[in-house]
Structure formats: C-alpha cells, structure tokens
Amino acid sequence: MLLQLALLPSLVLFIVLWRKDKQDKEPIGLLLKVFFLGALTIISAIALGSLGTNALTMVLDSQSMLFIFIDNFILTALIEEGGKYIVLKKATWKHPAFNYTFDAVVYAVVASLGFATFENILYVFENGVGTAITRAIISVPGHAMDAVFMGFYYGIAKQASVAGDEAGCKKNLVKALIVPTILHGFYDFCLSTPYDIFILIFLIFEIIFTIVTIRKFRKLSREDAPIYNPVGQPGQELDTAVDVTSVSESEDQETNRP
C-alpha cells in the first residue's frame, strides 16, 4: 500500500511527460538509465548534505536565518540539483537521441523523477499515508517543475553548442543548474523558517510557480523542433535541405544548357 502511494505521483507525471513528447519518442533504455542514475543521486545528496550540515553547525546557530539559508539553498538545493544536472549531462548530452528541443525537458524531468521517487519512498515508509498524500501534491511535482526549467536551459545550451556558439552554450548550462537550484532552495527555505509570513509567501510562490511552469511546459511541447546547425553542420535537417537545393540548382543548369 505505502509503496504504491509512494510510486503513484511519479508514474502519473511520467505518463503526462510521455504524452507531451509528441515529435520523437525517446528510447526507453535511455530513459530508464537516466531515471535510475537520477535515483542514485539521493546517496550523494544525503551524504554531502549531512557532512555539510554537521560542519555548518560548528560555526552557526542552527536556528539562525543564515544557517537556514545555507542549509536550504546550498546543502540541499544545490547538491540535489547538481546531482541531477551531472546525470543529465553525462547520460544525454552526446546521445544521438537528443535531437529535438523538448528532449531536454524529458531527460531533465526523468532524472528528477528518479531522485524524487526514491526520496518519496524513504519519506512515505517513515511517516505514513499523510506524508504520501502531501508529497504527492507538493514535493514530487515540485521536483518535476524545477526540472522543466533545467531542461529548458539545457535545450538552449544544446542548440547553441550545435550552432558553434560556445559562449551561449556555457551560459545556458550554468542557468540549467542555477535556476532550478534557486527555485528549489526558495521552496525549501520558505518551509524551513520559523516565521509564519513565509508560509504565506510559499503559498503565493507555489501557485504562481505552478501556473508559469505548466504554461512553459505546454509551450515547449507545442513548439518542439529538431535541433540543427543553422549553417548546415552537423545538423541533419538542414543538410537535407541543402542537398535538395543543390539538386534543384543542378537540374536548372541542365535545363538551361544549349
């Protein structure tokens, strides 16, 4: 019962993601690889987070706002999102299946769901049904929404790389890590502070963030397009167009010869 409740939100979100990837479905083998590698990052997140928190308690009061800020933005959000980002980059960047813009979102969300699923299992088995319901509504979708923004910038970085724009590629790879880290950190920070005002801030943030993310997710799915180099190398889409143009010009020349 608890296992099914822990797995259900990730399964529902994956089905939604799969249905929105309309142009070119990703290989199941690759998605499973990204999912399980994403799940393994929970080990590094727990280990590094615990070490960091223990070290931080030696120099700061655990109830201070500075401690809460560092704990949530760096020792939680940055470590968790950093793990997902590393999985994303190592497993998909050079994979031939990464050939459409929406693919980046698919990979990022799947990596995030891998982490969120196993984290959810731990929390649900420890705290029961109430936690399963709360996390199904807020926490697991929160991980997925952060990943939409990681995938958005990751896809732009891939386009820039293929086009030979290394500066644009590096800039957007940085954004692919930093933006979801800030979103994730702010989410956790609001729920960790002892001041009631932050609960209100969290609720407002969560409503706006959810609306904006859903709209962006749908837009990215709707505008999914092949990734290729505008100059014609090495993108297959433009190479084909160039070949057709060349053939057409050759035929015109043949027709106009005396």
Give tens-digit pLDDT for 91-143: 999 999 999 999 999 999 999 999 999 999 998 888 888 888 888 889 999 99
Residues 73 and 185 in one domain: yes
Residues 130 and 193 in one domain: yes
- Distances 103 to 24, 26, 88, 152, 210 between C-alpha atoms, Å: 8, 7, 11, 10, 21
pLDDT at residue 250, rounded to an integer: 40
Residues 118 and 241 in one domain: no
pLDDT at residue 32, rounded to an integer: 97
Residues 200 and 256 in one domain: no
pLDDT at residue 182, rounded to an integer: 98
Residues 254 and 174 in one domain: no
The total of structural domains in the chain comes to 2
pLDDT band at 23 (very low <50, low <70, confident <90, very high): confident
Residues 27 and 153 in one domain: yes
Residues 150 and 240 in one domain: no
Q: Which residue type occupies 221? A: S
Mean per-residue pLDDT, 211-234: 83
How many CB atoms are located within 10 Å of the residue 201 CB? 15
For 124, how many CA atoms within 13 A lie in the half-sphere containing its CB? 23
Domain that holds residue 163: 2-227
45-72 pLDDT tens trace: 999 999 999 999 999 999 999 999 999 9
Residues 7 and 119 in one domain: yes
Residues 252 and 161 in one domain: no
Residues 248 and 197 in one domain: no
pLDDT at residue 230, rounded to an integer: 59
How many CB atoms are located within 10 Å of the residue 123 CB? 16
